């Protein structure tokens, strides 16, 4: 078969190659190793000394929503029985003014959270991701008070959960 005969098969080969490459990803773009079917996501540790309570539960819930709802992984309550384990630790919580009025009153505060994550493949005994993530949310301390601080902290954790999910499930 000469070049003229091969030229007709070139588009078919390219199309098959593209389709094969897409088979490793879900519709969300999440790439999970094929041998992983279950994931354990224990309650996040909160070592931040924050006065906002429940951050550990909020972060854990955000992570469960992403890894279970946006991948084919199912949640395994027992770490020892899971194919993969995602551990998160809130390391730092900072609440600082970003804008001050003329009479030196904070008019805008930024809540910054730092979370350390270890994502482990227990089947192959390999660390898939070990990294620190930072996120923030802002609020008006005068108008919103403690409720605004809580909302800013939750916003920061939601952004961090998105970043963790993206880092753990992308092969780029």
Mean pLDDT in residue range 151-163 = 99
pLDDT at 19: 46
pLDDT at 109: 96
Range of the domain at 161: 30-169
Q: Of 109-118, 138-147, 156-165, which range is least confident?
A: 138-147
User: How many domains does one find in the chain?
Assistant: 1
Domain-located, residue 43: yes
Q: pLDDT-based confidence at 141, cuts 50/70/90?
A: very high
pLDDT at 8: 57
Domain-located, residue 6: no
pLDDT at 2: 58
d(CA 157, CA 115): 9
Mean pLDDT in residue range 90-112 = 90
pLDDT at 66: 98
Classify residue 136 by its DSSP letter: E
Nearest CA to 90 among 110, 70, 111?
A: 111
Distances (CA, A) of 14 to 10, 17, 20, 172: 6, 5, 10, 21
Domain-located, residue 21: no
pLDDT at 4: 57
pLDDT digits (tens, 9 = 90+) for 2-55: 555 555 555 555 555 544 444 334 445 578 999 999 999 999 999 999 999 999
d(CA 3, CA 143): 74
- Characterize 45-64 residue by residue with b for buried, 16 or more Cβ atoms within 10 angstroms of its Cβ, and e for exposed: bbebebebeebbebbbbbbe
pLDDT digits (tens, 9 = 90+) for 57-87: 999 999 999 999 999 999 999 999 999 999 9
Domain-located, residue 8: no
Report H helices in the chain: 3-22, 55-69, 145-169
d(CA 90, CA 88): 7
Domain-located, residue 136: yes
73: CATH: 3.30.160.150
pLDDT at 87: 99
Mean pLDDT in residue range 115-119 = 99
Per cent of the chain over pLDDT 90 is 73
Angle between helix 145-169 and helix 55-69 axes, rounded to 10 deg: 40
Domain-located, residue 10: no
Indicate the average pLDDT of the chain.
88
| Burial (0-12, 13-18, 19+ Cβ within 10 Å), 100 | exposed
């Amino acid at each position: 078969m000469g070049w003229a005969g091969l030229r007709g098969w070139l588009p078919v080969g390219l199309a098959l190659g593209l389709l094969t490459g897409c088979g490793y990803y879900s519709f969300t773009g999440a790439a999970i190793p094929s041998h992983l079917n279950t994931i354990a996501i224990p309650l996040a540790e909160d070592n931040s000394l924050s006065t906002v309570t429940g951050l550990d539960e909020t972060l854990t819930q955000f992570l469960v929503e992403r890894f279970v709802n946006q991948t084919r992984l199912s949640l395994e309550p027992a770490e020892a029985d899971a194919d993969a384990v995602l551990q998160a630790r809130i390391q730092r919580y900072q609440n600082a003014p970003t804008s001050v009025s003329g009479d030196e009153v904070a008019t805008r505060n930024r809540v910054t959270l730092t979370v350390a994550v270890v994502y482990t493949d227990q089947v192959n005994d390999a660390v898939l991701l070990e990294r620190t993530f930072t996120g923030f949310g802002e609020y008006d301390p005068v108008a919103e008070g403690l409720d605004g601080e809580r909302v800013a902290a939750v916003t920061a954790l939601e952004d961090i959960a998105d970043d963790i999910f993206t880092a753990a499930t992308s092969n780029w």
